[in-house]
Amino acid sequence: MASIATTSRIPSADLESFSACIKSADRILALLGAGLSASSGLPTFRGAGGLWRNHDAMQLATPEAFDDDPGLVWQFYSYRRHMALQAKPNKAHFALAELARRKENFVTLSQNVDGLSQRAKHSMSQLHLLHGSLYDVKCTDFYCDYVEQNNFTDPIVPALAIPSTHVVPFPNDHSGAEATGVIYSAMRERDLKVNSAKELDVSDEKVSIPSIQKSDLPHCPRCKTGLLRPGVVWFGEMLPKKTVSAIDTFIAQSKKIDLILVIGTSAKVYPAAAYVNRARAKGARVAVVNMDRADVPGGEEGLRKDDWFFEGDAAVLVPQILKEVVGEIR
C-alpha cells in the first residue's frame, strides 16, 4: 500500500524516496485541481462547499443554465473572476513553476481556470488548461466565432460589479464653525476610505443581488448581437482539442513516464482519471497531494505500494516534496 504522509510530518523515508525519484526523473506529468488554489482563498465548489448562494455550482456550469438565466450565470462567473484576481499564487504554484524551469520534460495539465499558475510564471509551453480560463470570453451567436483571451477587466461590465457598503461619518448636532469642521473632517475621511469600501459577500444567499437584464450583460463587439459567455469548458462540452492533443502527444512520444503528480484533485472522473492510468501504463509512479485521503486516483487500481500519498495542504506540502529540485520557495 502507498505511504501516507500528513502536513504535520512527512516520514523521512517517504520524503527521501520521493526526492530520489523526482531528482532522477526525466518525463513528468502533473494533473492539477482546485485543491491547489484552496490556500489562496479560492473556493473549490466541490463536496460540502459546492454551493454558490443556494445554487449547486455544478448546475450553473452548463450551457443549459446559461440559456435559461445568463444573468445569474454571469454573476457567478463574475464573482469567480473577481475573487481570482484578488487572490495570489501560493507556494505550491511557485514550486511547480520552478520545477518546469528545472525540468524541460515536465508537463502540467491543469483543471483550474483561476489563472494562478500563469501568474506564478509557470511556462505556458509546459502548462495546458483542460477547462479553459475565467479570463477568456467568446460569443454565443451560432454564426460568430469571436473569442477574446486574457480579458482581465473587473467587472467585465458595470452591471456585474460586486456591490459594497460604505458608511460616511455624518456630523451630529453641531453648529457654526464646529459643524463646518466636522463636515470637512468627514469628507476627508470619506476620501481616504473610498477605496476601502467593504464588499458584500455575494456568495451568501442572504445578501441581495439584483436580477440583471440581457441588455446589461457583455455583448460581442464583432457581431453586436450575440451575448458573450465565459470561455470555460462547461459540463457536456468538448474539451479543447489543442490541449488534449498536446497531452496525447506527450504520452505517445514517451517511451517511459517516470512520475505523475496528482495535486488537489481526486482524478476519479474521466478524462482526468484516464491520464493517471495512461501514465502508469508507461511506467509512472504516482504521487498524490490531497486534503482527503479518500481521494485516491487511478480507478479500481488505486495506489500501489511504491506510490505516495501526501495528505494535507498543497501549499505546504508541494514546496516540501519538491525542495530537493526547486530549492527553497519564499
- Catalogue the active-site residues: 131
List, in order, residues 6 or more apart from 99 with CB less than 8 Å away.
28, 106, 322, 325, 326
All three cell numbers of 195: 477605496
C-alpha–C-alpha distance, residues 5 and 119, integer Å = 29
Q: Do the Cβ atoms of 8 and 282 come closer than 8 Å? A: no
One-letter amino acid at 309 equals: F
List, in order, residues 6 or more apart from 55 with CB less than 8 Å away.
72, 76
All three cell numbers of 280: 502508469
Instruction: Give the three-class secondary structure for 103.
Output: coil
| Beta-bridge partner residues of 309 | 4, 288
Instruction: Give the three-class secondary structure for 163.
Output: coil
All three cell numbers of 261: 503528480
C-alpha–C-alpha distance, residues 129 and 257, integer Å = 20
Chain centroid offset of residue 326 CA:
22
Closest to 156 (Cα-Cα) out of 182, 186, 136: 136
